[in-house]
Amino acid sequence: MAILFTFDFASKQKYIFATNALREIIGASEILDKLNSQFKNEFGNDVKYSGGGNGLAVFQTQEKVDQAISFLQKNCSSYGLTFSYATLEAEKLTHESHEKLKSMLINSKKSGILPYFEPLLPHGAICQSCGRRNSTKNPHNTEERLCNICRQKQENAKNAHADIIEAMQKLNPEIHGGPEKWFLMNTDEIKEYNSENKLYGIFAVVKMDGNSLGKKIRTFLEADPKNIEKFSDISNGINEASKQAIANACCHHFKEYIMKNKKMPFRPIIIGGDDIAFLIDPSIAFEFTKTVSDEFTKNTKKLDTSSITISAGIAFTHSSFPLSKSIELAEELLSNSKKYGVMVNKENPPAMIDYQVLYGSLNDNITEIRDREYTIYDGNNKITRLWQKPYLLSDDSNSNKIENITNLASASQKIGKILKRSKIKRLKDVFNHEQSSLQELLMQLRTNVPANESKTYSSREQFDILIHWAECNFKFYNEQSKNEEKHEGILDLVEVYDILGGKE
């Protein structure tokens, strides 16, 4: 009789984003990856999966189970982590026994394992980073006082995502050195980079996740009892697909930086399974994210499950904006893009992307922001939404239903060729007028467009096309949700005009 064993680190997101310091966020993510890797190395072939802060193993004796629990307790406590676990006696690992084990783990979590607690001494100085635990002085920096856990996060950040660099080195032998040489390591470096490249302190936070991955794996496991034996291969394959997709995108989009032996305007935060998060130069955020999505799907085609698409949410914020909040907003946008992907194709959702440019510091969620700043109510309480998001992230058979992000980027540049920047910025104010005034103001803008003729469209005809940008999105989404809202897509173009390099 075998003993199935599964575990899950508690409050992973809270642990990673316990502070707003980029280095410590990266280090926390690295600690989780390290613990997963150590568990796999310690228990070898008994481990079916270990990644993303959880794991699954099949042991033959209770002694091995006790060793696994002891191993996790010892290693987790040193980093300020706790974990939940469940065990189940079974003849072997099957889809049914695996589902039962997962249900037991959920119940174990509900039983309320206490979070890690480091007692606060009466007169200890508070950690400058997390503000919750007693701190000690840094021997190399007398002004810095960090608690033991935050200090360990900082130390682990030094080599975080070294596997991405290794994957890049296989693609480009000119790459030498580790993560600290090639990746941005803290927000000061981001601000310095932004200053050099005139990005006005803006960076993009990207969150990505696979579409219907759990459903696809469940369908695969249910198709044949023997498929459970391939569970480990599939999990490892998805991990490898994410890592390789990031490495390929870096080598493709940052050739110039690599040639100059210069840091890339990029920082991986979380790369585990189909869960991806990173910071990047906003001017290439759409292109880079599309490449990652395309590469991930291509890399998963060799798995026994059907190929997996991956969607994204991007929050464009000031570098002074709390990073944990930026990640939270990107997560909301990702959730929205995945929801709309199911509208497009319920069985095989395409890769989708939603984004938002946030220059303010308001602590609102995406729905509140859009309801307040991008929604118009006329006298009859009819609603006009000033966006056509989300968009397709990758070209596929659904492109005839809704627009893709590549076309949006192209259209945003076209608007800069036919309108002056001051007029472009005025468009948002124009759409806040009631309908009769709106049409009059649009006509005034149109008359300011030079009547240049081209082989395809005159500039004024191009203006008319852009004003009704992505109308297909609004028609399709409204048909699916059966509402009668009106959507104006032109402001999507205005929103990304500056961040994509449309500066005078």
The region that residue 131 occupies, defined by phi over 0 for left and psi between -120 and 50 for alpha, beta otherwise, is left
Q: Per-residue pLDDT tens for 299-326? A: 988 887 777 899 999 999 887 788 888 9
pLDDT at 44 over 70: yes
Q: What is the pLDDT of residue 141?
A: 65
Q: What is the pLDDT of residue 428?
A: 72
Q: What is the pLDDT of residue 114?
A: 47
Between residues 172 and 127, the one the model is more confident about: 172
Looking at residues 122-141, what average pLDDT do you find?
Answer: 71
Q: Per-residue pLDDT tens for 271-286? A: 988 899 999 988 899 9
Q: What confidence tier does 503 reach under pLDDT thresholds 50, 70, 90?
A: very low
Q: What confidence tier does 185 reach under pLDDT thresholds 50, 70, 90?
A: confident
Q: What is the pLDDT of residue 246?
A: 97
Range of lowest pLDDT (41-50, 159-168, 181-190): 181-190
- 70-90 b/e (C-beta count within 10 Å ≥ 16 → b): eebeebbeebbbbbbbbbbeb
pLDDT at 498 over 80: no
Which DSSP state fits 136?
E
CB atoms < 10 A from the CB of 366, how many? Answer: 20
- Strand 352-358 versus strand 2-9 pairing type: unpaired
Q: 95: part of which helix (H) or strand (E)?
A: helix 95-110
Range of lowest pLDDT (7-11, 310-314, 376-380, 483-487): 376-380
Mapping DSSP to helix (H, G, I), strand (E, B) and coil, where does residue 90 land?
strand
pLDDT at 255 over 80: yes
Between residues 399 and 111, the one the model is more confident about: 111
Q: Are 349 and 309 within 8 A, CB to CB?
A: yes
Between residues 268 and 369, the one the model is more confident about: 268
Q: What is the pLDDT of residue 88?
A: 95
Q: What separation in angstroms does the CA of 400 have from each of 118, 255, 351, 392, 397?
A: 56, 33, 15, 10, 7
Length reported for the chain = 504
Range among 183-187, 444-448, 466-470 rated most confident: 466-470
Q: What is the pLDDT of residue 269?
A: 93
Q: Per-residue pLDDT tens for 430-451? A: 777 766 677 777 888 887 777 6
Q: Are 20 and 11 within 8 A, CB to CB?
A: no
Q: Per-residue pLDDT tens for 48-68? A: 889 888 999 999 999 999 999
pLDDT at 398 over 80: no
- Long-range contact list for 108-116, CB < 8 A, 24+ apart? 108/84, 109/8, 109/10, 109/84, 113/10, 113/82, 113/83, 113/84, 114/82, 115/10, 115/11, 115/82, 116/76, 116/77, 116/80, 116/81, 116/82
pLDDT at 115 over 70: no
Q: What is the mean pLDDT of the chain?
A: 84
Q: What percent of the chain has pLDDT over 90?
A: 39
In the block, tokens 């292109």 appear at 287
Between residues 30 and 193, the one the model is more confident about: 30
Q: What is the pLDDT of residue 198?
A: 52
